[in-house]
Structure 1
Amino acid sequence: MVGSAGGLMVSMCHRVNDVMRLCCELSANQQVQTTVRGSGKGAAAAGGLAFAGGLIGGPLGIAVGGAVGGLLGCWMTSGQFKPLPQIIMELSPQQQQKLYDDLLAVMGDIQWTDLVQLTALVMGNATLKQQLTATLLGYISKELQAQVHYVD
């Protein structure tokens, strides 16, 4: 019996992994990028140092302060703009399970044997693809409090 329970766990892990990889595929096709909260700090640093530079050094101080502030802002926000597939693969096991459960509710009784079959089933059904993408983006926005952007 232990062997069958262990096999069930492995099977479940594969199913969660299949769905996470499907999410990566969906988000890559949509050209989605996310912004983790905090990018406002970088903009504030750039603007604040440009203002301070202007008070101290006039027009040249604005340029120097803006450049230094821009570099500081870039450093402060580095790593906060990430492609959605990267965010998905960095989710904790608990977060992946929650996302899996949310997506499974949309998928209903779809059965698949591997990632290739799952991807074909979803990509071949425009309505399902749209519903899963909306669920994924909703999860990212609500649970991770990230802003979603479409990359041109």
Structure 2
Amino acid sequence: MPVMVDDIMKLLCTLSEKRKMQAAVKHSGKGALVTGAVAFVGGLVGGPPGLAVGGAVGGLLGAWMTSGQFQPVPQILMELPPAEQQKLFNEAVAIIQHLDWTDAVQLTTLVLGSEALQQQLLAVLVGYITKELKAQIRYDD
């Protein structure tokens, strides 16, 4: 079974590389904490006007901190822990279970020959990245 997981990961890496997909994981908890802390300090130092200024400055600082760096999706996929790769594998294999392949190269060739399969697998990948990893996706064309 691990070989099949590796095959699916290689396939998803190929598809995401072909589409030049990148993702950035946002750390919204950190941003909220910074925003709240700066607003609190502003309120202590300057009263109500300080609270307003602190909230604005904290919001900008929090937004800057949480604008994650984009990384290629293939890199993110290969760095996933085995349990997460298994989750993604389970979703992807439901789409390609009817295909008969012996290795990643053959599987990739079969999928690249079908635009419908590519779209279905990309939808699974995008769903996984946005829901499970809470990441933002962009396409570099």
Q: Does the alignment reach a TM-score above 0.5?
A: yes
Structure 1 counterpart of 2:122, from 133, 142, 147: 133
Q: Does 1:150 align with 2:139?
A: yes
Q: Which residue of 1 aligns with 2:100?
A: 111
Residue type matched to 2:96 in 1? M
Alignment map for 1:41-120 (pairs within 5 Å): 41=31, 80-120=69-109
The Cα of 1:78 is off from its aligned counterpart by 9.3
How much identity, in percent, do the aligned residues show? Answer: 50
SS at match of 1:138: helix
**Runs of 4+ that moved beyond 4 A:** 76-79
Greater RCO between the two (CA within 8 Å, min separation 6)?
2
The Cα of 1:108 is off from its aligned counterpart by 2.7
Structure-1-length-normalised TM-score: 0.66
The Cα of 1:80 is off from its aligned counterpart by 3.3
The Cα of 1:77 is off from its aligned counterpart by 6.5
Q: Deviations over 1:39-60 (max 9, x none)?
A: 895xx99xx9xxxxxxxxxxxx
Structure-2-length-normalised TM-score: 0.71
**Structure 2 stretches lacking a partner, 5+ long:** 39-59
* Cα separation, 2, equivalents of 1:108 and 1:22: 14
Check 1:107–1:28 CA distance in 2 against 1; reply closer, same or farther (3 A cut).
Answer: same
**Structure 1 stretches lacking a partner, 5+ long:** 1-11, 49-68
- For these two proteins, the number of residue pairs brought into alignment is 113
Q: Is the 8 A contact 2:23 2:70 kept in 1?
A: yes
The Cα of 1:125 is off from its aligned counterpart by 0.6
